[in-house]
């Protein structure tokens, strides 16, 4: 009646493992009808993965590598090359003035244009007004009206106007006649406001004494006498003082 084949399926070889062909034996008698044959491993089929340079600011690159085109096994791993990152360029700030707005400094990428540090808008600050106070004029110095200006930019809002000096207000310092006991002064003047001397008074020397001789008196028997004296008739200054002379009777004890 002939053999009835019992087939054992083989399996193909892989890149790293051997395979085997189909084989069969008789189902009834066990005789080998077809022997299995070994299929040698095929080995990897290398496919080159080319190097990729990093591009732009965010995209990474990698070195050259390879893999098997059949099983996908990595044969030569590649190394990651980091992204280049941004190339920052400074965006200069703009200073404010009292009447114009400004910006802070910032940065952007020269490659991709992305703003990496935004600039911040600074509003117009406006003037900083300061009052320039009123200054009263003096006898010799000019004065000023009240004004105002900006302490930041110097702009004048209200200009100060000069007020002329008032000039002195003379007061006469009357002359003082000298005497024999006191010096005198010539006429002078000074300012009633600031006290400055306008015309200096000069010293006038004392006048001489006007001496007057007062006669003495001889003592009487019972009455005292006195010696002569000399005094100034104007001030009373005594040059020679009168001395008391006792009565004659007192000489004898009476």
CA distances from 129 to 85, 95, 107, 150, 156 (A): 49, 20, 35, 5, 9
Distance CA 112, CA 106 (A): 16
Determine the pLDDT at residue 1.
Answer: 59
Close Cβ partners of 92 (under 8 Å, ≥ 6 residues apart): 105
The per-residue pLDDT string of the chain (254 residues; one tens digit each, 9 = 90 and over) reads: 588 899 999 999 999 999 999 999 998 888 999 999 999 999 999 999 999 999 889 999 999 999 999 999 999 999 999 999 999 999 999 999 999 999 999 999 999 999 999 999 999 999 999 999 999 999 999 999 999 999 999 999 999 999 999 999 999 999 999 999 999 999 999 999 999 999 999 999 999 999 999 999 988 888 999 999 999 999 989 999 999 999 888 887 76
Distance CA 44, CA 14 (A): 9
Determine the pLDDT at residue 27.
Answer: 87
Distance CA 208, CA 179 (A): 8
Determine the pLDDT at residue 251.
Answer: 80
Determine the pLDDT at residue 161.
Answer: 97
Determine the pLDDT at residue 45.
Answer: 95
């Amino acid at each position: 009646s002939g053999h009835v084949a019992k087939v054992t399926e083989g399996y193909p070889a892989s890149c790293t493992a051997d395979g085997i062909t189909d084989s069969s034996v008789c189902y009834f008698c066990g005789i080998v009808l077809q022997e299995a044959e070994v299929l040698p491993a095929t080995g990897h089929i290398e496919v080159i993965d080319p190097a990729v340079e990093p591009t732009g600011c965010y995209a990474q690159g990698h070195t050259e590598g390879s893999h098997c085109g059949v099983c996908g096994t990595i044969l030569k791993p590649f190394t990651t090359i980091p992204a280049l990152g941004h190339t920052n360029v400074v965006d200069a700030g703009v200073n404010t003035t009292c009447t114009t707005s400004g910006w802070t400094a910032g940065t952007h990428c020269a490659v991709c244009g992305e703003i990496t540090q935004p600039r911040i808008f600074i509003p117009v600050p406006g003037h900083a007004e300061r009052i320039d106070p009123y200054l009263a004029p003096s006898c010799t110095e000019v004065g000023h009206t009240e004004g105002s200006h900006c302490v930041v930019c110097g702009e004048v809002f209200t200009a100060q106007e000069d007020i002329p000096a008032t000039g002195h207000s003379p007061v006469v310092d009357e002359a003082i006649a000298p005497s024999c006991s006191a010096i005198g002064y010539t006429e002078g003047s000074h300012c009633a406001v600031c006290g400055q001397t306008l015309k200096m008074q000069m010293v006038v020397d004392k006048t001489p004494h006007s001496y007057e001789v007062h006669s003495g008196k001889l003592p009487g028997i019972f009455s005292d006498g006195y010696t002569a004296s000399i005094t100034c008739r104007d001030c009373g200054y005594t040059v020679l003082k009168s001395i008391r002379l006792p009565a004659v009777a007192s000489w004898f004890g009476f």
